[in-house]
Amino acid sequence: MPDTRTPGPRPGPPTRVARRRAVTGATLALLLAVAGCTGSSRDRPAATRATGDPTPAAVSGPLCATLPSGTEPGNPGSLASQPPAQALTWIPVLATFEAAVRATGMGGELSAPGGLTILAPTDDAFRASFSTANLDELLLKDTDTLRGLLRDHLVAGARPVAELVAAGFVTTLAGTALTVTAAEPGARLADRAETVCADYRATGARIHVINKVLGSLPETAHEEDHAH
């Protein structure tokens, strides 16, 4: 006899994967597949835990309105108790940066003693700086160069954006000095990048989402245009 039982609801796709669909290229798909094989449910907070933290956490910047808020998974308050590497996975526009952290094995370094400030470029910022082929090369082969690039976005101490502005400059873990000026409601870095959603908190860290890639690597995005 045919099975007439009503099928139960199908589980939805993992939230982390859904948030990364905006990132193009087979390389990132490969990295996510590897992460799926080696990770477990313990690597990320459950949705009930992510929405249950009542601690207020204020973020500021023009991009914040498009990012999780209120009681949504990934809202700023829910990330405050997460290690930085985990917190990054919940901010939808940082899929490329988070994939770079995975590719270089720098997740532990983000939980540095004494805290850390993470200046994290958006996916759009990476696309504006690097061609797909160049980014593939960094993620799959030239991870030493990629590690140096990431350290150009890390500053010792978990520093709110207002503190960065008050200091007037910071030195990254790569040894690069960056000028910092006020750019309401956040900061402008090295007269190049601006914070677009500042002051995410994670355990021992502050995460400031920025709109440009820092560092001295040559921009190659235009090469992709010439290829077509």
As a 3-state breakdown, the chain gives helix, strand, coil percent values, each rounded to 5, of: 40, 20, 40
Instruction: State what percent of residues in the chain have pLDDT above 90.
Output: 71
Q: Is the pLDDT of residue 18 over 70?
A: no
Residue 56: pLDDT band (50, 70, 90) is low
Average the pLDDT over 188-209 and give the result. Answer: 98
Q: What is the rounded CA–CA span in Å between residue 128 and residue 137?
A: 16
Dihedral in degrees, nearest 10, Cα atoms 97, 98, 101, 102 = -140
Please state, in angstroms and rounded to a whole number, the distance separating the CA atoms of residues 38 and 137. 22
Q: Which domains does the chain have, with CATH numbers?
A: 15-227 (2.30.180.10)
Please give the pLDDT value at position 226: 53
The whole-angstrom separation of Cα 37 and Cα 26 is 17
**Helix 132-140 vs helix 26-38: angle between axes, to the nearest 10 degrees?**
30
pLDDT band at 39 (very low <50, low <70, confident <90, very high): very low
- 94-137 pLDDT, tens digit each: 999 999 999 999 999 999 999 999 999 999 999 999 999 999 99
Of 49-63, 87-101, 142-156, 177-191, least confident by mean pLDDT is 49-63
| pLDDT above 80: residue 24 | no
For residue 4, pLDDT beyond 60 = no
Sheet (strand 116-121) strand order: 154-156, 116-121, 205-210, 193-202, 186-189, 177-183, 169-171
pLDDT above 50: residue 42: no
pLDDT at 26: 54
pLDDT in tens, 130-166: 999 999 999 999 999 999 999 999 999 999 999 999 9
> Which pLDDT does position 227 carry in this prediction?
53
Whether residue 17 has pLDDT greater than 50: no
Least confident of 15-29, 34-48, 205-219: 34-48
